[in-house]
Structure 1
Amino acid sequence: MKRFHLALAVRDLQTSIADYSVRLGQMPNAVVDGKYAMWRTDLLNFSINQNPERAGQLRHLGFEDDGAEGFRSTQDVNGIEWEHFSATAQNERIVAMYGIPVSA
């Protein structure tokens, strides 16, 4: 399976989790309190991280791909970061960057 990945910066993590959970029709698959949340739907891998200074801004785009090996990040011609990763590689990166999720 291949899912489109979209990552945004948000002002307040808890308020954003409540809003995006309604919009996506499900609770997040992973939450690191005060830092990060991620949803995996059938088509979308959507993540947010609390960064009030950049609230509402795109952090990066990419693809979660079951066939991907590891984690890779490149920039396109416009300077936008694109990531390509497996679900396992993303889960490992979440722990390394933000800590152990309270739900996964």
Structure 2
Amino acid sequence: MKRFHAHVAVENMETSIDFYSKLFGQPPTKKQDDYAKWMLDDPRINFAISARGHAVGVNHFGFQADSVQELAELKTRADAASPGEVLDQEKSACCYSNSEKHWTIDPQGLAWEHFHTVSDAPEFGSDTAHQTGACCIPLRGSDQDAPSAKAACCIPNGSSASQAACCG
């Protein structure tokens, strides 16, 4: 069974962890200095927050698959929604987890991640050749009419999209 995923960039981790722990009625399932995650069963959601230099607010949405078969089903759906525009990231390390994943972006430029977590990782992210600690999030191409995950770039800490280093 898939689990909905929402990731929000926050300004203050301590204040946000306190707020969401009270709102959800439980402490985070995973907590680091710059990241926290709640794995809720009712509703079934993987809700994460981080303070890593991104603009405060919604970072991305997605679905966490419980199996490689579910991930393949989600990939088929992403390909149907965005033909030729899906960014595959095999064996990525992001959000303190090792995962198989892919990304697409909606017509508004909002990133959607589909992933299957295989194990914990010691670092927030190391799935890029150019930015240690950055996780790849597809961006809407500024010179294109439609979103493009093919030309996706990573959003490094504190950098604008136009200065971001592309994923390797």
| Equivalent residue number for residue 48 of structure 1 | 49
- Displacement of 1:96 after TM fit? 4.5
Q: Distance in 1 between matches of 2:3 and 2:54?
A: 28
Aligned to 2:104, which of 51, 74, 93? 74
Q: Greater share of helix residues, 1 or 2?
A: 1
How many residues are paired up? 94
> What secondary structure, in the 3-state scheme, does the structure 2 residue paired with 1:87 have?
strand
- Displacement of 1:22 after TM fit? 0.9
- Displacement of 1:24 after TM fit? 1.1
Q: Which AA in structure 1 matches 2:32?
A: V
User: Considering only CA atoms, is the larger Rg found in Structure 1 or Structure 2?
Assistant: 2
Q: Choose between structure 1 and 2 for higher RCO, CA contacts under 8 A separated by at least 6 residues.
A: 1
- Displacement of 1:7 after TM fit? 0.6
TM-score, scaled to structure 1: 0.78
Structure 2: runs of 5+ lacking an equivalent: 73-99, 126-132, 134-168
Structure 1 vs Structure 2 CA RMSD = 2.1
Q: Which AA in structure 2 matches 1:58?
A: V
Runs of 4+ in 1 over 4 A off after TM superposition: none
Q: Which AA in structure 2 matches 1:95?
A: E
Identical aligned residues as a percent: 36
Q: Distance in 1 between matches of 2:39 and 2:118?
A: 13
Q: Distance in 2 between matches of 1:84 and 1:53?
A: 20
- Displacement of 1:53 after TM fit? 6.6
| Equivalent residue number for residue 95 of structure 1 | 123
Aligned partners of 1:11 and 1:53 also within 8 Å: no
Q: Which deviates further from its counterpart, 37-46 or 65-74?
A: 65-74
Aligned counterparts, 1:1-104, within 5 A? 1-33=1-33, 35-42=34-41, 43-51=44-52, 54-55=55-56, 57-67=57-67, 68=71, 70-88=100-118, 91-92=120-121, 95-97=123-125
